[in-house]
Structure 1
């Protein structure tokens, strides 16, 4: 029995010893991994740019090195002062082979043309985590319209890995632990000279994104089963374009994106939450019933909705001509008839499909000129607005809305009409009042749970705001707790209104703003199923017809910003008068 006990004790001791050895090995291995991470990027070539001459040289080198994978790692740093973001101080770009450029924008003051052209080049992807947010800041701070941003997590998900922040991805995919200490993240990026730790941190953040991108691209390429990496396409760049084109300038939602392995091997993003939200507004029944409306003499005026055609009949304003296609004839002379291609557009039967991809399953109305601008247009421009209402499927609608943000940001800078700057919100928050209000509520409802020293601090905060009061009383606390921390901003003007007012003062007026949005839609979405005769200059042609018919007043033209048309009309009238004489 004693021998058995001794044997059991010996085995237990051996197991404990092996466990300790294993644990020690694991700890040492982890420690070694962390130590190795410090030296992982010793090969980096880091160039800090603070002047235009060096900038031109560095940009040229970046272009040369990024030809293979058509991308650079991208990140930005800035200083936050009392909760308010200052302009971007540092922008980092890195190639996959370790050439890192740190552009000190706070010292450059303006972005040199060589760098601006590089950032606005659509053929070069700017890869990072949430790069679209940094792009917004660059546009707001330096009027640089960064193109082709790519959130690395799209590619990570496509390759079959779990997404995460840059530090998580670096650890899981590269085996490298990044320095994410708040001391360096929140350091002074506007300092006269950056510390060695700041330089290394900034360069590594951009380079890691580039390394992960290359690793995922190579992983997808080796699998050879992805539709994006076609064996018949020998050029790696073309294969990369096939993959990245789906995700450019699109935000990544980590909570709602997952992989769906379909029959053709394509990895498709599925955003359940957005899909659920949009399902309620997505149409599965035809929007266009394509009924026809005729003038009393039988001339076709336009296509219209079946319900509208029935309304004319029920009001005894029209008669049914035939059931198929459903056609009604007015009993009165309309205010105007169709003229030229402008009028013919309204006579064409519309297709119930996505104008971009042709999907006929479900679709949503898309306002090519967003309502936030059109709502401030004069009434004469709101007539026949159906020209700018098109049908898009759920996917194309989402992609189009994301692309629209680029135009909004450009207009925000051009027209001095900020989108999100809190100094331009309708109501501003008085932080002092908010602090006093919070202190009063704490003393009213939680005094017995707050330490005495903290209570005295809160009372001092309140008394400093009410200098005429000598002591804290219940009435004073109630008055302080009812203070209004939000006040109306007297300088506030809605973004859409400011943009419209800006364009009314420009050559071309609001017609130019309309054309800008229409051209943007055509360029970014490349629709393949647009209605015949749809035109970028549709409203200009329509208004010119009305001008010649004498149905536009001088007030109308001034409201649109077309004061030069008034002179044209006066000149035309004078010419006609002379001819008649």
Structure 2
């Protein structure tokens, strides 16, 4: 009994200690959360917020918003009222049965020290001239979450074209800090302004439903409405500033668009549709097995090929060495590393510009440095390089690097944005009715599949399945019996149908235009610099260069 009593007392003390510790942690966490909320409400006080409801007042305030010493970046957001009376009214922007929105009532702009709230519905349909000039100026970045969608609303409602919009989620995707999301990108967890504020700034942004859905068309806005609206735009600028410091992007903060030019005025939904796999939350899309073909062997064998006098000509893979050996054009002079010496004089010896091909290369991912599998990345996409002249194609290996699957996905995403920009610049559509020379003919595909099944698996197919497949062929050719020749012809038929004999692909159009402008080398350099700017590789092979073969 005494032993049991001692055990009970010990257990009770332990439970009491755990309970006390839990209470302390809960109290600290609660205090921390309250402190962070208080911190947010003090981001901008009413003294640094200007509300304007006339064209003259707006022009005066906006003109002084961006002085000569201020960075050309503003936070932008919009508020509008939802009107149940406009259910099903398409002009109100809603679908049948929905609560439709009215025109944008409030436009919020913010810099790092103040905010301006423009009550557009108070101006009787007149959009302030100075305000229009500012938001149409593409050299002034407008940052926020879903800011491109807000730009569309302003254009639809007031006919102004907002330029220079940058969705913060594009930058957050690029920053990719593992301590945020366990190795994924920040966007997998922080998809809205509130989430980004918590992740990037460490603050809990209040998003009260009562304020968010309040009457933004009221005669006078309450202090809570003013603070809510101003901080939405202000927090966007603060997030932008913080992300820039994480991304080593101070050049952009000081000098303008810079490395993010490819995502200016590009809605973030381009990638979010791929990431939002289910309704429960944003989870990273797991690539299909066929999406990325990983190598089972290293990309670099680091074999060496020498001239007869022992001068190193290049490092290469084992297949190249075997090619020379099989034709008795070389002999092995060393096994580690495998080295073959030519028995004839080569046409030339490498000069200073070919150092890249002489150096050994590590089989590691160039971004994260891991080496658990081998996935190749074409820095200059194949759809463009295949139209390069022969002398530029010969240096293709320089632009084939190793990436992990996650980095490959992120790089492909950024490549897609640049591809969209090239499509607009060169009027070369990437997709759509003009972007496909051929289309699959479903009926011919069915006939060919049936013929292949009958040829390859005829003796293993159930009788009913065999009869059904034979019926497909008989119906298509309108015959009673299927000959062996007909079966072979069907199995090898072309199931494509030509849509446009004069079709020119996106890549061919872009390269033709760049060649006509004498800018093929610039085009190649652009893609290499794009890879550096978007992926920040830390483990590039020695002598890898943006200006290689230039």
- The normalised TM-score by structure 1 is 0.48
Whether the 8 Å contact between 1:293 and 1:330 is mirrored in structure 2 is: yes
- Give the equivalent residue in structure 1 for 2:75: 72
Matches within 5 A, 1:90-489: 94-95=109-110, 99-100=116-117, 115-119=137-141, 126-129=143-146, 146-147=165-166, 149-150=168-169, 173-176=207-210, 211=232, 214=235, 238=242, 241-242=245-246, 251-252=271-272, 253-255=275-277, 271-274=284-287, 277=289, 281-283=293-295, 285-334=297-346, 336-420=347-431, 422=432, 424-426=434-436, 488=499
Pair 272,45 (structure 1): closer, same or farther in 2 beyond 3 Å: same
1:336-392 residue CA offsets vs partner (Å, 9 max, x unmatched): 334322222211111112223323334522211111211211223211211111222
Whether the 8 Å contact between 2:78 and 2:150 is mirrored in structure 1 is: no
- Give the equivalent residue in structure 2 for 1:61: 65
Pair 290,46 (structure 1): closer, same or farther in 2 beyond 3 Å: farther
Whether the 8 Å contact between 1:256 and 1:271 is mirrored in structure 2 is: no
Instruction: Please state whether the residue corresponding to 1:303 is helix, strand or coil.
Output: strand
Instruction: Please state whether the residue corresponding to 2:408 is helix, strand or coil.
Output: helix
Pair 47,61 (structure 1): closer, same or farther in 2 beyond 3 Å: farther
Separation (CA, whole Å) in 1 of partners of 2:438 and 2:58: 42
- Give the equivalent residue in structure 2 for 1:28: none
State the shift of 1:142 in Å: 8.0
Separation (CA, whole Å) in 1 of partners of 2:418 and 2:356: 27
Q: How many aligned positions are there?
A: 371
Matches within 5 A, 1:483-522: 488=499, 493-507=504-518, 509-522=519-532
State the shift of 1:292 in Å: 0.7
Matches within 5 A, 1:546-557: none
State the shift of 1:60 in Å: 5.3
1:261-294 residue CA offsets vs partner (Å, 9 max, x unmatched): xxxxxxxx962523x6589534575321101112
Instruction: Please state whether the residue corresponding to 2:138 is helix, strand or coil.
Output: helix
Separation (CA, whole Å) in 1 of partners of 2:207 and 2:368: 36
State the shift of 1:325 in Å: 0.6
Separation (CA, whole Å) in 1 of partners of 2:511 and 2:187: 46
Whether the 8 Å contact between 1:129 and 1:152 is mirrored in structure 2 is: no
State the shift of 1:323 in Å: 0.7
Instruction: Please state whether the residue corresponding to 2:380 is helix, strand or coil.
Output: coil
- The normalised TM-score by structure 2 is 0.51
1:124-160 residue CA offsets vs partner (Å, 9 max, x unmatched): x82214859979xx9xx989665563279989x9799
Separation (CA, whole Å) in 1 of partners of 2:544 and 2:429: 32
In structure 1, stretches of 5+ residues that fail to align are 1-40, 82-88, 120-124, 181-194, 219-235, 260-268, 430-485, 541-581
Instruction: Please state whether the residue corresponding to 2:388 is helix, strand or coil.
Output: coil
1:503-532 residue CA offsets vs partner (Å, 9 max, x unmatched): 11224x311211121222223333322222
State the shift of 1:405 in Å: 3.4
Whether the 8 Å contact between 1:294 and 1:327 is mirrored in structure 2 is: yes
Whether the 8 Å contact between 2:306 and 2:342 is mirrored in structure 1 is: yes
Whether the 8 Å contact between 1:362 and 1:394 is mirrored in structure 2 is: no
Separation (CA, whole Å) in 1 of partners of 2:365 and 2:54: 48
State the shift of 1:400 in Å: 2.4
Q: How large is the RMSD of aligned CA atoms in angstroms?
A: 6.1
1:308-336 residue CA offsets vs partner (Å, 9 max, x unmatched): 322332343321111101111223443x3
Pair 387,63 (structure 1): closer, same or farther in 2 beyond 3 Å: farther
